């Protein structure tokens, strides 16, 4: 077997796809340009002075109203959490708990006010912190760095405070440490990533909050509480723990107000909201509607509050706080100042003039930013910029004229108030339209890179299809790999040499050019071999000699599965289909299997040949295997139906209710139901181990005393025991008290690590010695099994001579036993016929254990369905090939590969996932970890494994599509002989070699693995190409950032994970083949 050429060829194809993905991402998910400019007190943005205005010392741009400010951020404080409804007789756990805010707003209406605080999506914490401090809109791609934060280089509120000599003290979420390094006068950071920890951050803040406030060594104090957000992630908002946490926040605010001075502004804000399941990250109503509460012991507002709380964008907080504290507005701010906070205690005219002054400053700052940004980015529409400029110029000119008239006392009060109100409206219109223009044009696409990425991915798909046909037709794929790699290396070296001579090295462009060059090398080499292929084709019978029915059958054999694939790809261009893909993928899988049965019937493969009697009676009798096939299809349909009980919901489908199986057992309040579910999950886990061991025992792979076999016998039950113990302690962790609580905390970490360790040991044993064969030597003579051969085989070519001799000797020994009637067999090799599949089954079981550990307990039912459905698909594939009488046993048909990948997509949704950020299971990062991680790599791996569990299992198990028909011995070979006479039995023994047939033709085995891998990559790549094209074509679609961009990101990551796992699965098969070769060589030397 040619191992390295196959792996290198597949790895090269994967790298081509990776280059295309990277190039497209660099053009589609560009972050907006961040200007390096910053505001300063000397900027000429102050409006013309009027007689009642004076700028006190130490103030910039506007008079300072407060010398101190306290910003309390309660993470995930949804508006409904802060709003108080006295009419509610029986409020939900999250309602009417912040009663102190309601008390302040009603008892002191000119001192306090509650707002709807509208967050801009994405509603991830880091993006919201950026919005709350810079006044700008973070872009979509920033979500990827939510837990790998980097310092904010753009001008921001904290930088302005520090630059103007203000002391900023922070306590709480350590995300701020990465965003604002060395910006705090004093700081108390606490780990934020462990969403199961409700109290560490909050208790740490409360320990330092009041002493710090009373100490007075601060000008701005920021306290970022995380308990409410973590409670939502762990329990959801409708839980008793949420009531406790909100009550704690209410008492904290009550005490804090008592410690504040008259010159201090209090701001209580939520950075985002949360869904009914406690998640966030998207743009649903409940995710973007946070709460903002403003309070001061001195009057803030000139009038009473409106009937309904006003909605303000989060970016509006930045210019408001900056001017209230007397510091410049950050340079890149596009927020609108909350002018009602600047009314003061004067009459209506004085209040309006104060508001106009801050609006004028705000508008000048936004106009300056738009002008600077348009010069650098040049992507804001010119006509809209001109319209904004006209609006701004007109408002500023009218303001200047109005101030001159006010100073000259030429206007009477009613006319003045009317003109002041109209001018305020013009400034508001300008600021809101400027923000809208930026929001619409923020994604600065790079069309050339997007098109280049699409072309690379499309060419890679074509290459996969052509190479799969070449692999089936010849064994020359080594030469097809050599020339492209040489071309790519030459271009890469030239590109690097050119890049180093120029300023700036864009490594992604160099890699993309190298990938394109290697693709051209492949196609050039393929075209050069065309005459040879034409001569080979000339030796085949002409197409005209083949009947129309046969040609239609051959065409339909490819058209049916490809039609299903292309239908799914076409659905990627519809946001409705993407939203409903959890139902579409199972439907397409069931349709493909039913079409397969229909095609077999149309081809006449389900009926026996008609005899004279059947012809006379006018009917055909069905073969017995059809009933077995129909039972398998019925089992598949049942699995598909049952898998729908484990789906997560998207907020685009309001009538959907998330599955009860997604929540952990700890969330169940009914102890009896919790115990029943626990026993069911453990029983199913034990049942999976029993089924795997029974299968291995049936094929003789549990007879040897090798370490791997011993591990399967004893290690598998031990892994199940550790998982069961972990589930037990995790489901009751919140109910334990005292010292028992400490033991539970230790066990919650220890049991997952025991599973990690045992699974790692099992995988290492599998890699070191994957042989599960027991050879029983009962030879009567000491003669060698192999006919005389000089020397020990030293190369694969020698093995091509040795292995057929071993088979021949075994068959001669069996023949001698049958003829003599009493002679013992020379050798018995148990499990040799299923040695490849056994290794894959063991690997998949170990991976299944790890992935089930990362999911909630009740999702183990979904994983059991996954394994059962994969088993049924393999048997349907084997049965269909047997009924079809496939003459190419080394080629896996397209329908099998497509159905396998459809099942992977189906179980992506059936393990509680959706291609949206709020549906990510962040809890997986802390399975086996009690404290915060020291690096982001490990949590990223754990969360990625949880998210793409089905991709991992189906990709690693992909070689089973090739191996399974050999393991099950195709029905056509079983029906050939009735096994009556000894010599006929000998003939059948010679036929039934199972997976050892693959070793009779090592070159075909290598080509078959290569072809299977290329087909798998082709189907994956076609789906990826559809998502890429949809994202590119619909980049200005209303739903692009809500539906198409997340789908593209998840599909890209799924492709990367699947391709890597596919290489690992094929590598494992080759490792087993290497071990089998070693085993045969040792057997020959005996």
Cβ-based neighbour number of residue 252 at 10 Å: 21
Mean pLDDT of 938-967: 93
What pLDDT shows up at residue 544?
43
Q: Which two tokens stand for residue 545?
A: 């000699």
- pLDDT (mean) for 285-311: 88
**Distance (Å, whole) CA 951 – CA 905:** 8
Q: Which of 262, 288, 255 is nearest to 273 (CA)?
A: 288
Integer Cα distance of 268 and 253 in angstroms: 9
Task: Return the pLDDT at 922.
Answer: 84
For residue 393, how many other CB atoms are within 10 A of its CB?
A: 12
- How would residue 616 be classed by pLDDT, with cut points 50, 70 and 90? very low
Tokens in use for 738? Answer: 């005292």
Report how far residue 889's alpha carbon sits from residue 991's, in angstroms, rounded to the nearest whole number.
14
Q: For residue 774, what are the β-bridge partners?
A: 830
Between helix 625-643 and helix 860-884 the angle, nearest 10°, is: 150
In this predicted model, which residue has the larger pLDDT, 1 or 428?
428
Name the token pair of 867. Answer: 């394994």
3-state secondary structure of 142: helix
Which pLDDT belongs to residue 63? 83
3-state SS, one letter per residue, for 1017-1083? HHHHHHHHHHHHHHHHHCCCCCCHHHHHHHHHHHHHHHHHHHHHHHHHHHHHHHHHHHHHHHHHHHH
Structure tokens at 105: 């707003």
What angle, rounded to 10 degrees, do the helices at 1002-1033 and 796-820 form? 120
Q: To the nearest whole number, what is the mean pLDDT of the chain?
A: 81
Q: How many CB atoms lie within 10 A of CB 661?
A: 21
| CA 462 centroid distance within chain | 26
Quick one: which of 135, 245, 138 has its CA closest to 197? 245
Please state the rounded mean pLDDT for residues 800-812: 56
Q: Distance between CA 449 and CA 512 in Å, rounded?
A: 10
Strands in 264-269's sheet, in edge-to-edge order, are 186-190, 168-173, 220-225, 68-74, 264-269, 289-296, 112-118, 311-313
As to burial, measured by CB atoms within 10 angstroms (0-12 exposed, 13-18 middle, 19+ buried), residue 462 is middle
Long-range contacts of 178-187 (CB under 8 A, 24+ apart): 178/149, 178/150, 178/151, 179/126, 179/129, 179/130, 179/133, 179/149, 179/150, 179/151, 179/152, 180/133, 180/151, 180/152, 180/156, 181/151, 183/158, 183/159, 185/217, 185/218, 186/212, 186/217, 186/218
The first and second tokens of residue 1025, run together, are 């190409």
Please give the pLDDT value at position 822.
46
CB 719 within 8 A of CB 849: yes
Pick the closest to residue 165 from 328, 294, 22, 288 (CA basis). 328
Q: Provide the pLDDT for residue 807.
A: 54
- Residues 141, 143, 145, 149, CA torsion sign: positive
Instruction: Return the higher-pLDDT residue of 433 and 553.
Output: 433
Percent of the chain at pLDDT exceeding 90: 40
What pLDDT does residue 535 have?
A: 47
pLDDT band at 1028 (very low <50, low <70, confident <90, very high): very high
Q: What is the pLDDT of residue 983?
A: 47
In degrees and rounded to multiples of 5, residue 268 shows phi and psi of -115, 120
At residue 216, does pLDDT exceed 80? Answer: yes
Q: Which residues pair with 224 in a beta bridge?
A: 73, 172
Distance CA 324, CA 266 (A): 12
- Using the 8-state DSSP alphabet, how is residue 735 labeled? G
């Amino acid at each position: 077997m040619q191992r390295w050429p196959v792996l290198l060829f597949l790895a090269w194809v994967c790298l081509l796809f990776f280059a295309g993905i990277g190039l497209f991402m660099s053009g589609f998910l560009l972050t907006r340009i961040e200007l390096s400019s910053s505001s300063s007190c000397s900027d000429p943005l102050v409006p013309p002075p009027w007689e009642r205005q004076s700028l006190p010392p130490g103030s910039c741009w506007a008079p300072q109203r407060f010398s101190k400010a306290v910003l309390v951020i309660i993470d995930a404080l949804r508006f409904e959490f802060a709003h108080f409804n006295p009419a509610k007789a029986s409020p939900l756990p999250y309602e009417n708990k912040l009663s102190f805010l309601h008390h302040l707003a009603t008892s002191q209406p000119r001192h306090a006010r509650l707002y709807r605080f509208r967050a801009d999506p994405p509603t991830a914490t880091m993006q919201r912190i950026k919005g709350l401090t810079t006044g700008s809109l973070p872009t979509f791609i920033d979500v990827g760095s939510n837990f790998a934060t980097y310092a904010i280089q753009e001008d921001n509120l904290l930088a302005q405070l520090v630059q103007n000599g203000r002391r900023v003290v922070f306590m709480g979420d350590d995300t701020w440490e990465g965003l604002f390094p060395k910006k705090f006068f004093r700081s108390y950071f606490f780990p934020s990533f462990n969403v199961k920890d409700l109290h560490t951050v909050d208790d740490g803040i409360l320990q330092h909050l009041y002493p710090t406030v009373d100490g007075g060594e601060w000008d701005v104090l920021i306290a970022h509480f995380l308990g409410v957000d973590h409670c939502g992630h762990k329990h959801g908002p409708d839980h008793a723990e949420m009531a406790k946490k909100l009550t704690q926040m209410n008492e904290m605010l009550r005490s804090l107000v008592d410690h504040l001075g008259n010159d201090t502004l209090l701001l209580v804000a939520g950075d985002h909201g949360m869904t009914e399941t406690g998640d966030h990250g998207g743009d649903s109503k409940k995710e973007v509607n946070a709460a903002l509460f403003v309070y001061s012991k001195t009057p803030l507002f000139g009038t009473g509050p409106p009937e309904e709380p006003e909605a303000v964008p989060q970016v509006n907080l930045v210019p408001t706080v900056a001017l209230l504290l007397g510091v410049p507005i950050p340079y890149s701010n596009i927020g609108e100042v909350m002018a009602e906070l600047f009314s003061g205690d004067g009459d209506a005219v004085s209040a309006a003039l104060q508001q106009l002054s801050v609006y004028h400053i705000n508008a000048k700052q936004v106009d300056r930013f738009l002008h600077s940004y348009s010069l650098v980015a040049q992507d804001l529409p010119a006509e809209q910029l001109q319209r904004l400029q006209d609006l701004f110029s007109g408002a500023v000119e009218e303001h200047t004229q109005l101030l001159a008239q006010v100073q000259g006392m030429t206007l009477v009060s009613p006319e003045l108030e009317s003109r002041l109100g109209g001018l305020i409206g013009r400034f508001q219109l300008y600021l809101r339209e400027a923000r809208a223009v930026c929001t619409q044009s923020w994604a600065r696409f790079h069309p050339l890179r997007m098109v280049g990425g699409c072309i690379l991915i499309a060419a890679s798909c074509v290459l996969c299809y052509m190479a799969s046909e070449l692999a089936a037709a010849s064994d020359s794929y080594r030469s097809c790999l050599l020339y492209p790699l040489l071309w790519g290396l030459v271009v890469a070296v030239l590109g690097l040499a050119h890049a180093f001579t120029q300023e700036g090295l864009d490594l992604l462009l160099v890699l993309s050019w190298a990938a394109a060059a290697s693709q051209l090398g492949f196609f050039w080499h393929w075209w050069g071999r065309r005459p040879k292929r034409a001569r080979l084709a000339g030796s085949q019978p002409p197409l005209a000699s083949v009947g129309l029915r046969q040609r239609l059958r051959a065409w339909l054999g490819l058209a049916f599965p490809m039609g299903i694939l292309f239908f799914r790809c076409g659905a990627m261009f519809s946001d409705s289909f993407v939203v409903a893909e959890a139902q579409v993928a199972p439907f397409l899988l069931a349709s493909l299997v039913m079409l397969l049965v229909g095609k077999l019937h149309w081809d006449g493969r389900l009926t026996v040949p008609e005899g004279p009697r059947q012809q006379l009676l006018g009917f055909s009798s069905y073969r017995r295997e059809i009933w077995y096939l129909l039972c398998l299809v019925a089992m598949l349909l049942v699995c598909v139906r049952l898998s729908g009980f484990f789906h997560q919901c998207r907020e685009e489908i309001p009538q959907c209710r998330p599955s009860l199986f997604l929540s952990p057992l700890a969330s169940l309040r009914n102890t009896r139901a919790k115990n029943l579910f626990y026993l069911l999950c453990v029983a199913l886990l034990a049942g999976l181990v029993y089924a795997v061991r029974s299968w291995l025992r049936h094929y003789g792979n549990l007879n040897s005393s090798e370490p791997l076999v011993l591990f399967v016998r004893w290690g598998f039950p031990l892994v199940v025991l550790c998982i069961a113990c972990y589930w037990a302690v995790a489901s009751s962790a919140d109910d334990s008290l005292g010292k028992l609580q400490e033991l539970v905390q230790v066990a919650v970490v220890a049991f997952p690590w025991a599973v990690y360790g045992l699974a790692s040991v099992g995988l290492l044993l599998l890699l070191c010695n994957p042989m599960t064969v027991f050879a029983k030597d009962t030879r009567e003579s000491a003669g060698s099994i192999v006919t005389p051969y000089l020397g020990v085989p030293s190369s694969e070519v020698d093995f091509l001579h040795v292995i057929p001799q071993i088979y021949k000797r075994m068959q001669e020994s069996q023949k001698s036993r049958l003829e003599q009637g009493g002679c013992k067999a020379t050798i018995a090799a148990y499990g040799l016929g299923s040695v490849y599949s056994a290794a894959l089954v063991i690997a998949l079981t170990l991976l299944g254990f790890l992935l089930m550990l990362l999911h909630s307990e009740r999702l183990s039912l979904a994983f059991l369905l996954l394994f059962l459905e994969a088993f049924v698909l393999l048997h349907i594939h084997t049965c269909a090939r047997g009924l079809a009488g496939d003459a190419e046993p080394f080629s896996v048909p397209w329908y099998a590969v497509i159905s396998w990948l459809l099942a992977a997509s189906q179980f992506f949704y059936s393990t509680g996932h959706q291609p949206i950020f709020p549906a990510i299971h962040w809890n997986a990062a802390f399975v086996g970890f009690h404290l915060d991680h020291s690096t982001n790599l490990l949590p990223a791996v754990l969360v990625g494994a949880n998210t793409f569990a089905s991709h991992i299992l189906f990709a690693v198990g992909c070689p089973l599509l090739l191996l399974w028909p050999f393991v099950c011995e195709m029905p056509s070979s079983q029906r050939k002989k009735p096994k009556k006479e000894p010599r006929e039995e000998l003939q059948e023994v010679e036929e039934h070699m199972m997976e050892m047939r693959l070793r009779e033709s090592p070159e075909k085995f290598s080509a078959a693995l290569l072809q299977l891998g290329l087909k798998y990559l082709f189907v994956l790549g076609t789906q990826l190409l559809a998502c890429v094209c949809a994202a590119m074509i619909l980049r200005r679609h209303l739903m692009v950032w809500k539906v198409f961009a997340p789908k593209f990101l998840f599909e890209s990551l799924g492709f990367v994970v699947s391709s890597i796992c596919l290489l690992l699965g094929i590598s494992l098969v080759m490792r087993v083949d290497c071990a089998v070769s070693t085993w045969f060589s040792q057997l020959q030397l005996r």
